[in-house]
Amino acid sequence: MTTIPPSHPRYLSLKTREQIAQGMKQGIVHETGLIAHGRGEAFDYLLGEATHPQAEAASKVAAAALLTAAHPVISVNGNVAALAADSCIHLAHSIPAHLEVNLFHRTLERMEKITALLQSKGAQTVYGLAADERIPGLDHDRALCEKNGIFSADVVLVPLEDGDRCQALCAMGKTVITIDLNPLSRTAQTATITIVDNVIRALPGLQQWVVALNDTPRSDLAQMLQSWDNTHNLKTMLSFLSKRLNSLG
Ligand code: PTJ
């Protein structure tokens, strides 16, 4: 692994990039995950690599959705496993929720490696390998999921997701939470709750909201979810981005 001195002005970004590159060498991250990461980096740069009030608001309502869910599931792909496996496990423990490995580029080898990584870090139940159901409306292996996992979940957290699957999960009537640095992506636009932020900041942030809201009456949390306007929040985020670009020009 390349040693990046902590004094480097781009230390965190370079360290994260290195984590993704290592993840690919270990067979966790698919090679196209590097491209997805680069796109994410570009959006994060525009966001000033910071968590914005719109992301905080979305995280708060996402925590409410997860706490009021009957069967919440956190979906883990290669990039998320490489960047934020510990955060996913802590979050799953706090809610509590189950984890499911669900890959766009599904191979048995990657499924096993990601499952083993999560288990080696203390995850209890990890769904995904014993896929026995399909997400309706999706072609190919990316539809594969477990009956007791994503298939029967009422709330699914899909960080860093491809748009088709997000749409298909919404069409199943599920509440879909995503974390996506690109507010224009199909995933961001179709999810029930979109947290426009980097998974490395958003997952610990979400965890904090889960802890903070844990004692709130469930009826108040349900009300928060019911009154959530994702389209409005995304518009505010886009307006911030365009103002920031104008101010830089
Ligand atoms: O591991 P697999 O096989 O499931 O494949 C995972 C990838 C990411 C390769 C696959 O889902 C894919 O191709 O995704 P997309 O369609 O490239 O979308 C990824 C989205 O995540 C893009 O909108 C990126 O801007 C965004 N993104 C990238 N890195 C981050 C991110 N969002 C939040 N945090 C990041 N660190």
Domain membership flag for residue 244:
no
Q: What is the structure's pLDDT at 245?
A: 87
Q: Which residue, by CA, sits nearest to atom 31 of ligand 1?
A: 40
Name residues contacting ligand 1 (CB within 6 A): 30, 32-33, 36-37, 39-40, 43, 77-79, 83, 103-105, 160-162, 179-182, 185, 198-199
Nearest CA to ligand 1 atom 16: 162
Residue nearest to atom 9 of ligand 1 (CA): 33
Domain assignment of residue 5, yes or no: no
Domain assignment present for residue 16? The answer is no
Q: What is the pLDDT of residues 116-157, one digit of tens each?
A: 999 999 998 999 999 999 999 998 888 999 999 999 999 999
pLDDT tens-digit readout, 109-122: 999 999 999 999 99
Q: How many domains does the chain fold into?
A: 1
Structural domain boundaries enclosing 125? 53-237
Which residue's alpha carbon is nearest to atom 18 within ligand 1? 162
Residue 70 counted as domain residue? yes
Closest CA to 47 of 172, 202, 224: 202
| pLDDT tens digits, one per residue of 157-192 | 999 987 889 999 999 999 999 999 999 999 999 999
Q: Is residue 175 part of a domain?
A: yes
Tokens 């288990």 belong to residue: 119
Q: Phi and psi for 119 in degrees, rounded to 5?
A: -65, -35
Residue 17 maps to a domain: no
Query: How far does the centroid of ligand 1 lie from the alpha carbon of residue 216, in Å?
Result: 33
How far, in Å, CA of 104 to CA of 142, rounded? 5
State pLDDT tens for residues 1-50.
Answer: 678 888 887 888 889 999 999 999 999 999 999 999 999 999 999 999 99
User: Whole-angstrom Cα distance, residue 225 to residue 238?
Assistant: 22
